[in-house]
Amino acid sequence: MVATQPDRWTRYADRLRHSIISPQLISGTVLVSVVISVADESGGIFDVFSITILTVLVFWVTEVYVHTVAEQRRRADQDMVSLRLSFRAALHKARGLLFAATPPLIFLLAGLFGARQGAVAYWVALWIEVLILGVIGWIAFGGRRIRWYWRLCGAVATATLGLLAVLLKILVH
């Protein structure tokens, strides 16, 4: 039996799965979903946008700090502390949190400037996170020998985290 080379799409999906899919991307997407869902939209889309962006920035700074400190555990006791290297590694790991916030913030910003009605932008921002979680699950559970139905189960399970945020929205407001 001759081993076949993976096609271009498979190589791209493998690279995507290994470079972008991260705990920070998943937890960041859920975090943004929850923040948007509990934000009081009656105060206006600006309030939702402001609360979301400030929360993401606080969590991102915290994530960078935590990873910078945690990187120090990898060095031997006699080695010098290299904050520059630790900080660079921390920035790389924490980028998923910023990636997670970008799509819903774009929709909230569009709603802020009237491209979409505020309520529409609010719900689109919330549902786009559910969609993103589903795509993350689909990509994360991908691979050459993974059956489509297992990928679908992974996508649905991951998207369910976003659906819980929508349910929270319905229960809170």
Pick 10 or 154 by higher pLDDT. Answer: 154
What's the residue count for the chain?
173
> pLDDT exceeding 90 applies to what percent of the chain?
49
Q: In whole angstroms, how far apart are CA 132 and each of 40, 91, 170?
A: 23, 22, 20
Instruction: Say what the pLDDT of residue 160 is.
Output: 95
Tokens of 148: 């489509």
Angle at 142 between CA 141 and CA 144, to 5 degrees: 140
What's the CA gap between 48 and 107, in Å, rounded? 11
What confidence score (pLDDT) does residue 115 get? 61
pLDDT in tens, 41-81: 778 899 999 999 999 999 999 999 999 988 877 777 777 77
Looking at residue 62, its pLDDT comes to 95
Q: What is the pLDDT of residue 108?
A: 93
Q: Does the structure show a pLDDT above 60 at 152?
A: yes
pLDDT at 16 over 80: no
Mean pLDDT across 149-167? 92
Q: Where are the domains of the chain?
A: 8-172
At residue 172, what is the residue type?
V
Where does the pLDDT of residue 3 fall: very low under 50, low under 70, confident under 90, or very high at 90 and above? low
Distances (CA, A) of 148 to 130, 141, 144, 157: 20, 9, 10, 14
pLDDT given for residue 6 in this prediction: 65
Residue 2 has pLDDT above 90, yes or no: no
Q: Residue 129: how many CA atoms within 13 Å on its side-chain side? A: 35
Confidence of residue 4 (pLDDT cuts 50, 70, 90): low
Mean of the per-residue pLDDT values of the chain: 87
Structure tokens at 163: 């659906």
